[in-house]
Structure 1
Amino acid sequence: MSYPQYGPEGHQYPAPAGPAPAPAYPAPPPSPAGLPITTLVLGVVCLLLLVLAGLGLGLYVNERRQHNATEASLRDRDTTITETESRADDLEARLNNTEDQLSDMTKERDALLPCMRRAQEIFDALRRDDDDDLGTALEMGITSCAEAEEAVDK
C-alpha cells in the first residue's frame, strides 16, 4: 500500500502498522448494572446537584414568603400607628375645646357670683323685715347683676 507523499521532498511517512497499541491504563471495570463507573458517579453528582438546587429553591421561596409576611405586618403596624395618632390628635383637640369651655364657664360663674350673693342678701333682709338693709341690698344687687350680665354677654 502506498500513500501519497506530503511535506519536504524525499521525506516519507511510515506506513501504518497493524492494530493500535493497547492503552497504558486499564479500562474501568463495568458497574453491576452494566454502566461504566464514571457514568454512575456522574449520575450521582447530577442527582446531588438537583437535590441541592431544590433545597436552595425551597429556602428562597420560604424566605420570600417570610419577607412578604413581615412587610405586610409592618404595613399593618404603620396603619395602626397612623390611626392611633389621628385619634390622639382628635382627642387632644376635644380636650382643648373642653378646657376652653370650662374656662368660659368658670369666668361666667365668677361674674355671676356677686349677683347671687346680693340676691341672698335681699332674701335675708326680707326675712328679717329690715327695710334699710333691703334698700341697700336691692341697689347693690342691681349694680352687681348688671355687671354680671355684661360679663356673661361678652
Structure 2
Amino acid sequence: MSSQAIDITEGFLQPILDEKGLELVDIEYVKEGSNWFLRVYIDKEGGVDITECGDVSELLSEKLDEADPIKEAYFLEVSSPGVERPLKTRADFENNLNKNVVIKLYEPIDGEKTYEGILQSFTDDVITIAYKVKTRNQQVTIPFEKVAKARLAVAF
C-alpha cells in the first residue's frame, strides 16, 4: 500500500504545488510504532515557511479526505526538507553543485560505502565528490545508479 499511497498523494499534491510555485522534494508513508505517517516535504528557492506548509497541508488534506484513498488512520505532516535535504533525482544533483553532501552506496567504491564532501560535478550520470582524508585532498567518481541515499550535509 505504501507506494500506492505515495502515488495517489503525489497526484493530488502536484497541482497544488504548481499553483503555489512550490517544489515536491519527497513523500514518505511510514509506520512508526502503531501510527502511520504521510510526510510531504516541499521547498522553493529561499525556502518555505510555516504558513506555506500549513496551506499545502490544508488543501491536500481536503483532497485526501474527499477521495479517502488511504484506509488506515494516519497523520499528515507537510514540512520543509531542512538543511539536510535528500538528493534523489538527477536534477537534485545538478542543482546542488559545490555544496557539501553525504552519499551512501549500494556497494563499496575504493573500499568505502559512504562519502562526504563537496559535490563537484554531475555529468553523464556520474557524480564527482572532492573530500579530505586527514590533510590530503581526494576525489571519487560515483555512478548515479550506485547511490543508495544522498543528502545535503551541514559542514562544520
TM bracket, shorter-chain basis:
under 0.3
Ranked by relative contact order (alpha carbons within 8 Å, sequence separation 6 or more), the top structure is 2
More strand by share: 2
Larger radius of gyration: 1
